[in-house]
Structure 1
Amino acid sequence: MTSSLLAQEPAASGSRDWYLVQCKPKQDERAEENLVRQGYTCSRPVCRREKTLRGQVQCAQESLFPGYLFIHMPHGANWAPLRSTRGVARVVAFGSRPLAVGHELILQLQGRAQSHVISTFSPGDNVTILDQGFAGIESIFMAMEGEERVILLINLMSRQQQISLPLARIACR
């Protein structure tokens, strides 16, 4: 389950009712499921990552901040149930007070996470273009061009051509 999209608009845009929760190692998805089951609104921004498994590049979703998630808690809420929730280690606090995070930041993180792909492409990997003009065309990954763009080799008009596209516009084949 990835409730990276907000289920509800929890408060006014200036609200600072979001808090950072540290999860037990490799249990951020489990913590999110248990908190949502208890009726809390959570945000665990995820991103797509290409991984090589058994010689093939496969797409997978993973947490943008492994081991952490954000939870919406109204002012004056009872924090006790969080301590006994499976997967939750603690609420991140400075001193003895949890530090609130602005709603705008949560929305920005979710927007950025959905539009980014963390790439582990290697030169020669087969990829598919998602961009409207070249949608569905199979191509070969050549190289990264900065952090946000890739250089691809495509077969166009019976000739191989190099093109440059945003990283988010390609997917593993």
Structure 2
Amino acid sequence: MKSWYLLFCKPREELRAKQNLALQGVESYLPMIPQQKKSKSSPNGKLVESPLFPNYLFINFDPTEFSVSRIHSTRGASRIVGCREAMTPISDDLLASIKQRVEWHTPEETGAISKGDKVTFIEGPFSELDAIFEQSDSQQRCFVLFNIMGQQKRINVDISSIKAL
């Protein structure tokens, strides 16, 4: 029976494994999210797509019809997680939840607020107070600079709890 499984890939080889599995007819899913990357040429950083789970790829296949050893020998792939004696399939509900969260986390939403922008809290203990957006991380949270008692403090908050002014 066809099910979803978790494939551990070689470092930074998720896309190669995905492409090579597609050539073999194996369906796969690699959740990608936008992430701010800094470099010498771009000190402010640029928005790039990065895997939500580095080194991991979700694959959908039937182990009775497609050889597990073919997947393990695919370029970029390392091994199926939990594949010792009995393979452990991943719940369809869990995968649907991941897909929904990744779709919510679009570049337009994170790109709407950039470093140095003034933001206000729309919920939580700091509701209706202002801060300065510093950066977002890859897990739907962000860092803001907040003035507390005359000092500027860096705090980590849920990105859904702020909006741009």
Q: TM-score, normalised by structure 1?
A: 0.62
**Residue of 65, 83, 94 corresponding to 2:72:** 83
Give secondary structure in 2 for the equivalent of 1:105. Answer: helix
> Is 1:65 the equivalent of 2:53?
yes
Q: Residues 37 and 95 from structure 1, CA distance in 2 versus in 1: closer, same or farther, beyond 3 angstroms?
A: closer
> After the TM superposition, which residues 116-135 of structure 1 pair with which residues of structure 2 at under 5 Å, given as runs?
116=105, 123-124=115-116
**Partner in structure 1 of residue 17 of structure 2:** 31
Contact (CA 8 Å) 1:23, 1:89: kept in 2 or not?
A: yes
Match of 1:171 in 2: none
Residue of structure 2 equivalent to 1:46: 32
Of 110, 132, 148 in structure 2, the residue corresponding to residue 142 of structure 1 is 132
Identity of aligned residues (%): 27
More off after superposition, 103-112 vs 64-73 = 103-112
Query: In structure 1, how many angstroms separate the alpha carbons of the residues matched to 2:104 and 2:82?
Result: 30
Q: Aligned-pair distance for 1:48?
A: 0.9
CA contact (8 A) 1:21 1:71 kept: yes
Contact 1:17–1:100, Cα closer than 8 Å, also in 2: yes
**1:40/1:71 contact within 8 Å kept:** yes
1:16 Cα offset (Å) = 6.9
| SS of equivalent residue, structure 1 residue 26 | coil
* SS of the residue 1:99 aligns to: coil
Q: Classify 1:36/1:91 alpha carbon distance in 2 versus 1 (closer, same or farther; 3 Å).
A: same
Cα 1:89–1:75 shift into 2, 3 Å: closer
Paired residue total: 125
**Bigger strand share:** 1
Asked whether 1:97 is paired with 2:83, we answer: no
- Preserved contact between residue 49 and residue 117 of structure 1 (Cα < 8 Å): no
Cα RMSD (Å): 2.9
Structure 1 residues 94 and 31 mapped into 2: Cα distance closer, same or farther (>3 Å)? Answer: closer
Contact 2:16 2:75 (C-alpha < 8 Å) held by counterparts:
yes
Q: Is the 8 A contact 2:34 2:106 kept in 1?
A: yes
Could you list the runs of 5+ residues in structure 1 that have no partner in the other structure? 1-14, 127-140, 153-162, 164-173
CA contact (8 A) 1:142 1:151 kept: no
Q: Is the 8 A contact 1:16 1:101 kept in 2?
A: no
User: TM-score of the superposition, structure 2-length normalised?
Assistant: 0.64
- Name the residue aligned to 1:19: 5
Flag the structure with higher helix content. Answer: 2
In 1, the alpha carbon distance for the partners of 2:97 and 2:7 equals 18
